[in-house]
A and B are shown apart, each in its own frame.
Chain A
Amino acid sequence: MIEIVDHPIDVPQVLGSVSHPGAGGIALFVGTTRNHSHGKEVLYLEYEAYVPMALSMMTQIAEEAKARWGLHAISIVHRRTRVDISEASVVVAVSSSHRKEAFEACRFAIDTLKKTVPIWKKEFFADGAVWVDEEGHKSLEPEA
């Protein structure tokens, strides 16, 4: 399952989606939203996605991981729009015959997603909001 959703992610459902009788293990990564950023309190986040391209790249990442580690199944689900603190913003689930492949493929999938997939996060503070740039360039802009 490869999805971008506007509602809370049903984590057990994503986990169940990679269930396979040949699997010796499932690795599950759940990215959650932090309540702080550079010492400031974050009230909530908003995610924006270039949906068709993001879905296509998430599918490519899943296919590459599947081929490279011989996985049974892989699912990647990301949220869009407002996400409250502590909620899951992204879930990656991977099943394989042995745990080593599951851990490695899961890490590859989330790392590659964060670096390449056109999705953006905006942090909202009491006094404004910023688009987050993982490379570290930030600029504070007052809320309109």
Chain B
Amino acid sequence: MIRVTVIFFARARDLAGTEKAVFELSPDATTSLMMQVLVDRYPALRELQDHLRLAVNRSYAAGTAALRDGDEVAVIPPVSGG
């Protein structure tokens, strides 16, 4: 198993009701699986699911990316800086 730390921001944090969680996943886990695991664990995230992006170790994940032990996954709702 691999362990990844997930951090939630802004509206995603409000919906998940937490800012940080640790998940144990199978060694072949990807960002697509991660998203599925997240909406299963936090069903309230579903309403935002189509608009969420995941970042792995501080870079946006393009498509489906492999996860590794110790990764930091950020759940990023639509941004609104400026």
Contact = CB atoms under 8 A, between A and B. Distances in A.
A108 B53 CA distance: 22
Chain B contact surface mostly:
mixed
A53 B81 CA distance: 13
Contacts of A85: none
B21 interface: no
Interface in A95-128: 110, 113-122
Given A118-B74, A141-B14, A78 B81 contact: yes
A23 to B, nearest CB: 25
A48 B10 contact: yes
B23 to A, nearest CB: 18
Interface size class of B (residues with CB under 8 A): 10 to 19
Interface in B20-57: 51, 55
A78 B80 CA distance: 12
Interface string B50-82: 010001001110000000000000101111111
Contact of A56 (B58, B76, B78): B58
A49 interface: yes
Contacts of A135: 51, 78
A122 B74 contact: no
Contacts of B77: 120, 131, 133
B4 to A, nearest CB: 16
B82 A53 contact: no
A21 interface: no
B11 A131 contact: yes
A48 B81 CA distance: 9
Given A48-B10, A131-B10, A119 B80 contact: yes
Given A53-B59, A118-B55, A118-B74, A134 B10 contact: no
A103 B80 CA distance: 22
Interface of B: 7, 9-11, 14, 51, 55, 58-60, 74, 76-82
